[in-house]
Chain A
């Protein structure tokens, strides 16, 4: 049984690297990534699971890191936007101007990247369902949709 009773050293696998963090059992993954590992790509937005700005990929699935305990992430593979490193979706976002202020961008990138990995050839309704998890208050939805479709078309 895995047990953490108090603030402890935890081992996380982030962006392909094994990292040590010091975390309380009640610490949130978003805070640990930002404050301990200086991975500030995941953004605090609503911190309530509504906006998607903090989305990271955990074992291949997009996850809102504001609703995951750091302790839960032990033993899993975490990818943040810093781990994408010129992924096709990043290039597509630039080419399609799929951002304005940029605050939501890393969350959208992670959702889009996970979608492209899980469903290389999804129907439109699946794209819409996945993208509805993230909010862009600058309303760049049209361009974001174009960007993910460019990436998906390249995969076919």
Chain B
């Protein structure tokens, strides 16, 4: 049971969502956009979040799109992670989404909700960072397209009252060689000790991580080392691990030292699987 009341709004269009959010904000109701709602509900139950209104985005057709438009795949923010997994259109995203929480939760968590999560992992952003995704945002001035790196730095950086409508990916990335590795402390269903997602294109490996730092990221310096043909696979892994070591998370899920060990071994596996460069 959630120990306080709030208003529930389910707009049917982008315009309605923006308008109702603005009205609720003016009424001092501290509204929140609501995707799958798993995080809001669980945190509200515990008293860790308080709101006077939620604006459910799942009935907006533009947020439910999952189709090709010329040379791009459009992925609506209100699709559930199960929708992504079942459709099998972007294998790296399918695998990433399929390892977030457990299967039944994937039937409720939305793509946009995972990107906007306050929990630090936000793993579905990894394929977007690698594939130079373009994200369409609903703003008071209409729909606007941004490069993923313009609006996602450590976490989603959108002005209050704006929300993600969809992401789009160039088709060429959908069939690129990839690998996704998620390591957890113990159980398969858990937060990541580390998650690494990689795409290979033009003979270069792109890689992005979650679980190592308090936010997901892609680091070009690490990528340059990963693609440095003058180094052996273990040398590349060791140098990246050394760079990472001072910054690694050190918590109950795993010590920084253990994360460094796992990172080193995982990078070697990635290089072997993708046949290096």
A1 at the interface (CB under 8 A from B): yes
Contact assessment for B8 and A47 in the assembled complex, using a CB-CB cutoff below 8 Å: no
The answer to whether B41 and A28 have CB atoms under 8 Å apart is: yes
Residues of A within 8 A of B59 (CB): 2
CB pair B45–A48 under 8 Å, yes or no, is yes
Known: A1-B20, A71-B8. Contact between A64 and B2, CB under 8 A?
no
Q: Do B103 and A28 touch (CB < 8 A)? A: no
Q: Which residues, 20 to 72 on A, are CB-close (under 8 Å) to B?
A: 24-28, 31, 47-49, 52, 55, 61-64, 66-69, 71-72
Known: A1-B16, A49-B42, A67-B42. Is A25-B107 also a contact (CB below 8 A)?
A: no
Q: Is B257 an interface residue (CB 8 A)?
A: no
In terms of DSSP, what is the predominant structure of the interface of chain A?
mixed
Do the beta carbons of B107 and A62 come within 8 Å of each other?
A: yes
Instruction: Across the A-B interface, give the 3 residue pairs with the lowest CB-CB distance, nearest first.
Output: A25-B8, A133-B104, A2-B10
With contacts A64-B104, A129-B103, A133-B105 taken as known, whether A69 is within 8 angstroms of B98 at the C-beta atoms is no
Question: Which of these, A62, A64, A111, A132, contacts B189 with CB under 8 Å?
Answer: A132
Shortest B2–chain A CB gap in Å is 4
Chain A residues within an 8 Å CB radius of B9:
1-3
Determine the distance from Cα of A129 to Cα of B11 in the docked complex, in whole angstroms: 33
Min CB gap B91→A, angstroms: 15
| A132-B41 contact, Cβ under 8 Å, with A4-B7, A5-B7, A25-B6 | no
- Which residues from B are CB-within-8-Å of A27? 1-2
In angstroms, Cα B188 to Cα A126, docked, is: 14
Within B83-116, the residues touching A (CB, 8 Å) are 98, 101-105, 107-108
Q: How far is the CA of A24 from the CA of B44 in the complex (A)?
A: 14
Query: Is B238 in the interface zone, CB < 8 Å from A?
Result: no
Identify 22 residue pairs between A and B in the complex whose beta-carbon atoms are under 8 Å apart, listed by A's number: A2-B9, A3-B7, A4-B7, A6-B5, A25-B6, A25-B8, A26-B4, A47-B45, A48-B45, A55-B104, A61-B80, A61-B107, A67-B105, A69-B37, A69-B54, A72-B58, A111-B103, A129-B98, A130-B104, A132-B188, A133-B105, A133-B189
A67, B256: Cα distance in complex, Å: 33
Are A26 and B105 in contact (CB-based, < 8 A)?
no
Q: Which residues of A contact B4 (CB under 8 A)?
A: 26
Residues in chain B within 8 A of chain A (CB atoms) = 1-2, 4-12, 16, 20, 37-38, 41-42, 44-45, 54, 56, 58-59, 80, 82, 98, 101-105, 107-108, 188-189
CB neighbours (8 Å) of B44 from chain A are 26
Question: A109-127 toward B: CB 8 Å interface, digit per residue (1/0)?
Answer: 0010000000000000000
User: A67-B37, A69-B41 given as contacts; is B108 within 8 A of A4 (CB)?
Assistant: no
A48-B5 contact in complex given A1-B16, A61-B82, A133-B104, C-beta closer than 8 Å: no
CA distance A66 to B37 in the complex (A): 11
CB-CB under 8 A for A72 and B37, given A6-B5, A28-B2, A132-B103: yes
Min Cβ gap B3→A in Å is: 9
**Which residues does chain A contribute within 8 Å of B41, judged by CB atoms?**
28, 66-69
Shortest Cβ distance from A98 into chain B, in angstroms?
18
B12 cross-chain contacts in A, Cβ below 8 A: 1-2
Contact A25 to B56, CB < 8 A, known contacts A1-B11, A63-B104, A67-B38? no
Which A residue's beta carbon lies closest to that of B104?
A133
